[in-house]
Structure 1
Amino acid sequence: MVRAGRLAEDLAREFEPAAQSIGAWVAAGDKQEGRQEGMTSGLATAERDELAQLRWENKQLRPERDILSNAAA
């Protein structure tokens, strides 16, 4: 509803959670979906998972590459 243009304060009066809570929920959802622009850590959950997987693969492949290059020499 906030994304549709309603104010968090109006929603807080209607549904009774604090406006701060609503704002935090919206911010958490935006961050999870990668919607926040201008943030270095604003990756979506899927992007963070992919980045972790790629870093792990790089860590595994570097020693293998070194072994193969030493064997070829």
Structure 2
Amino acid sequence: MGQHRRNYTDDYKAAAVERLYEPGATQGSVAKELGITGTQLKTWRLEIEAFGSVEAKRRQQADAAELLRLRKDNKRLAEEVEILHKASAFFAARAVKP
């Protein structure tokens, strides 16, 4: 039987990382209490430290996704404009012929 991957909310991750800052708390002890690995807790801590907060990470990911979408739209629109220019040139050339 395969293991099921557990998903944790951003709030849960933030609360788990906050527990690391309590007096006497260690990465191993907090991880054991929560039933997660120390590596998992360390990853969450590093992510939060890198982005400043869970919300900042969420905003950055949303911004990156929107930027990717906008770049794809821009490429598609540029291709459509190129097609219209070619069509315009084609019909202009045909209109000049007697």
Alignment TM-score, normalising by the size of structure 2: 0.43
Q: Which runs of no fewer than 5 residues in structure 1 stay unpaired?
A: 37-42
What is the CA RMSD across the aligned residues, in angstroms? 3.6
Q: 1:12: Cα distance to partner?
A: 2.7
* Greater percentage in helix: 2
Which residue of the partner structure matches residue 39 of structure 2? 20
Q: Does 1:66 align with 2:82?
A: yes
Query: Using a 3 Å threshold, how does the CA distance of structure 1 residues 5 and 11 change in structure 2: closer, same or farther?
Result: closer
Return the structure number with greater relative CO, CA threshold 8 A, min gap 6: 2
Alignment TM-score, normalising by the size of structure 1: 0.53
Give percent identity, aligned residues only.
24
Q: Does 1:6 align with 2:21?
A: yes
Q: Which runs of no fewer than 5 residues in structure 2 stay unpaired?
A: 1-14, 53-58, 93-98
Larger Rg computed on CA atoms: 2
- Runs of 4+ deviating beyond 2 Å: 1-5, 17-21, 67-70
